[in-house]
Amino acid sequence: MLVTVTDTPPASPPGPPAPEGLRRRRLVAMSIWSVAFVAGWFLIGLPTDPLYAFAWLWAATIAWRSDRPWRTHLGFARDWLPVVVLLALYNLSRGFADNGATPHAMELIVADRWMFGWAMDGQVPTIWLQQHLYDPDAIHWWDVGVSWVYFSHFVVTLAAAVVLWLRERARWAAFMRRWGFLCASGLVTYFIYPAAPPWWAAQYGMLEEVARISTRGWKEFGMHGAGNLLNAGQIASNPVAAMPSLHTAWALFVVVFFLGVTRRRWWPLLLCYPLAMTFTLVYAGEHYVIDVLVGWAYVGLTFLAVGLAERWWAARKARRRPSEAEPATADPEPVDPPSATIGAQRPGQDESGQDESGQDETGQDETGQDGTGQ
């Protein structure tokens, strides 16, 4: 019997609940993973680096499916390694996007003042929010929330993709196609239009003082090392990736992708996430509101462009399918059954079975001689 085994078989339809032994094993494995994750969080920092995050996500899938053979777990590396490499290249290339040129800043300031200055004493939203909410000598509950929402950018999208990979590979592929297009569009924009965030503009006197406070909330819990990797990445990155804001773009992208399979009564709650990310980025001095709006527009462009491309590809495959089938051949001449050929007249024969030369089927004439006269 021939058995075909795949590394990562497609998700099977919902079946009976897992046996008690499997649930217990999964609970123990995920508990160990959680303890290790928290320890790494305190000692090393939050997994904001693509390779570091990949290691934790892979470990989580192994813990969740610890009953599977290693061949299945290696399938995760096979499918996700290209994604991790692309994310790493994205982070590196974004740092070279300015090409030594002065990034755009004033037009972003003008745009935010035009949209909100009438309600914020002529200030951009970042300045107005920090004047009313930021206290350099104290950390408030909203500062803690800002740190958590900002960190979620590095986890939520990847975690959603991992869940899709575990449950439904076709939707995972659709998710990754759109996510890749969104990231590529943002990266191209960074090279064409390098733009600086509010905290950079304040350093060069274009704005009043702006504090970069996206990670200060963790200090309230004594988690001083929680943002080590994130802070290091912020220092090493080149501040030209403000337009569009992929932070809010990713947040809205995840929500929009799952709206179709979510009950409408939960939609307002889901949409709170990109709004919370918008507040976080503007308040923390990372982005202008105009960056956020352009990022949302990129999400709409992503779903439109990739959706059209998928429909075109499906139609192309449908058109090619008949031509790829075995070409039709001319109908063969029908073969008469043996009973029908007995005594049947052949071409060139008269009704007596002789051909035009007077020979019968044996090659002899009526006298029993062949055509040679013998």
| Residue position matching structure tokens 């759109």 | 178
Reference 153, options 250, 276, 291, 264; nearest CA is 250
Reference 124, options 134, 112, 133; nearest CA is 112
At 93 the pLDDT is 63
At 97 the pLDDT is 59
Mean pLDDT, range 119-136, rounded to an integer: 92
Question: Residue 243 carries which side chain, given as an amino acid letter?
Answer: M
**Statement: residue 14 has pLDDT above 70:** no
At 343 the pLDDT is 45
**Hey, is 213 helix, strand or coil?**
coil
DSSP symbols for 22-33:
HHHHHHHHHHHH
Mean pLDDT, range 216-232, rounded to an integer: 56
DSSP symbols for 278-329:
HHHHHHTTS--HHHHHHHHHHHHHHHHHHHHHHHHHHHHHHHHHHHHSPPPP
At 103 the pLDDT is 83
Whole-prediction pTM: 0.74
**Hey, is 364 helix, strand or coil?**
strand
pLDDT digits (tens, 9 = 90+) for 83-118: 877 777 776 666 665 556 678 889 999 999 999 989
Mean pLDDT, range 48-72, rounded to an integer: 81
**Beta carbons of 282 and 292 less than 8 angstroms apart:** yes
281 pLDDT band, cuts 50/70/90, is: very high
At 250 the pLDDT is 93
